Amino acid sequence: MATPLKFSAAHGAPFYATLRQRVDAYFQAQQLSRHANGAMWAKTVLFLASFLALYVLLLWGPFTGGARLVLAGLLGACNAFIGFNICHDAMHGAFSANQRVNRAFSLLFNLLGANPYVWTLTHNVVHHTYTNIPGHDEDIEVAPGLIRLSPADPWRPWQRYQHLYAFPLYGLASLSWVFRKDYVKFFQPQIGQHAARHPRREYFNLFFYKALYYALFIAVPVLVLPWAQALLAFLVLHAVEGVVMGLVFQLAHAVEGTAFPAAEASGTMPEAWAVHQLRTTANFAPRSGVASFLCGGLNRQIEHHLFPRVCHIHYPALAPIVRQTAQEFGLPYLENPSFGAALRSHYRLLRRLGRPQLVAQAARLPTLRP
């Protein structure tokens, strides 16, 4: 059981108070809601229509086996984009001021093969509170024993090759959600620092929606297509979905410059929560309209971590406010200018952490210039 943690109230708290005042002033001055606008609703319709069209074409379209695999890959990417753009905001309560709308869109996460209730616990509660803290943030426990993402993790000989095999492993991430991870997390006694006491309806939801997913994505394709073709399409779908989702999340927290800080002996983190988020989070491709559109604002993870209940459609406007405030307080604002730059940085981090000479390296805050 991990030692309970708390964040310091003395080091950096004024930063977040100032930042929140400025963000509040922006929304008031612009007379804007913090939730979805017309552009966000248009994205929602587009991605859901694309999902439906790809699913129907994959099963009943007049295509050969090779074309069906292409459609399966496109459906996998579309699934990831629905997760980023719609489900993620909804599960944070950021899509709409109406929580019924948020709950309805959260249910779409089941169509990706993942359970929204488990995600809310592991991601919203644990990851967003204890970001990049070894032994507490379960989001950095990617294939434990195989991939080493923190200097605090024990080193194993095969990890010297992790920069080569990590990316194919990311392709298994969504398959793990479908068949293993949700069940394991749901029935383990504790998630992070929180005892796992689930409402009865969530037991029903877990098994009901898993069965629905298996019916839609395994049983129906096997009935409509040759079984080998249906199986291969299912694997291609999840390989693409897993790689897309895995990379987007890894490029936000596991790149050069992000910290994996340890708590003091008392269980207190050395800095305030908001400053901790700046130390452990990085943006990528922040000026790319394509990245912002497809990734649901997750290329601006700094803004997301500081304001998770604000719809991602507003992040481009909030970014200059966050950056300026961080600079005024002498705090880092980490960015990789492009997706490729972030990908190379993640590759270099994997390679460095796979070297045996770093086994004894302690998790620490990196030296950062404002």
Side chain identity at 186, as an amino acid letter? Answer: F
> Which residues have C-beta within 8 Å of that of residue 53, sequence separation ≥ 6?
none
The pLDDT value given to residue 8: 76
Dihedrals phi, psi of 164, to nearest 5 degrees: -100, -40
Angstrom distance (rounded) from CA 167 to CA 144: 15
DSSP one-letter code for 296: T
C-alpha dihedral sign at 43, 48, 52, 57: positive
> DSSP assignment, residue 64?
-
CA–CA separation, 139 and 172 (whole Å)? 15
CA angle 167, 169, 173 (to 5 degrees): 115
pLDDT in tens, the chain (370 residues): 456 788 877 666 799 999 999 999 999 999 999 999 999 999 999 999 999 999 999 999 999 889 999 999 999 999 999 999 999 999 999 999 999 999 999 999 999 999 999 999 999 988 999 999 988 887 777 787 899 988 888 899 999 999 999 999 999 989 999 999 999 999 988 776 666 788 999 999 999 999 999 999 999 999 999 999 999 999 999 999 999 999 999 999 999 999 998 877 778 888 899 999 999 999 999 999 999 999 999 999 999 999 999 999 999 999 999 999 999 999 999 999 999 999 999 999 999 999 876 544 433 434 333 3
Predicted confidence at residue 138, as pLDDT, reads 79
CA–CA distance, 79 with 113 (Å, rounded to integer) = 10
Residue burial 114-130, b: 16+ Cβ < 10 Å; e: rest:
bbbbbbbbbbbebbbbb
Cα dihedral 196→258→281→165 (10° resolution): -70
CA 342 to CA 338: how far, in whole Å?
6
Cβ burial of 94 (10 Å; 0-12, 13-18, 19+) is buried
- How far apart are alpha carbons 168 and 251 in whole angstroms? 16
**Cross-strand bridge partners of residue 6:** 268
Grouping H, G, I as helix, E, B as strand and the rest as coil, residue 7 is strand
Q: Output phi, psi for 210, to 5 deg.
A: -65, -45
Tokens of 138: 């379960």
Smallest CA-to-CA distance from 338 within 274, 280, 275, 295 is with 295
Q: What is the residue whose two structure tokens read 């504790």?
A: 190
Q: Are the C-beta atoms of 306 and 357 separated by less than 8 Å?
A: no
pLDDT score, position 1: 47
Instruction: Name the one residue in this structure whose structure tokens are 């989702």.
Output: 245
Number of C-beta neighbours around residue 282 at 10 A: 26
| Cβ-based burial of 216 (10 A; exposed 0-12, middle 13-18, buried ≥19) | middle
pTM above 0.85, yes or no: yes
Q: Residue ranges of the domains in the chain?
A: 6-356
Cα 277 from Cα 273, distance rounded (Å): 6
Largest CA-CA distance found in the chain, in angstroms, rounded: 64
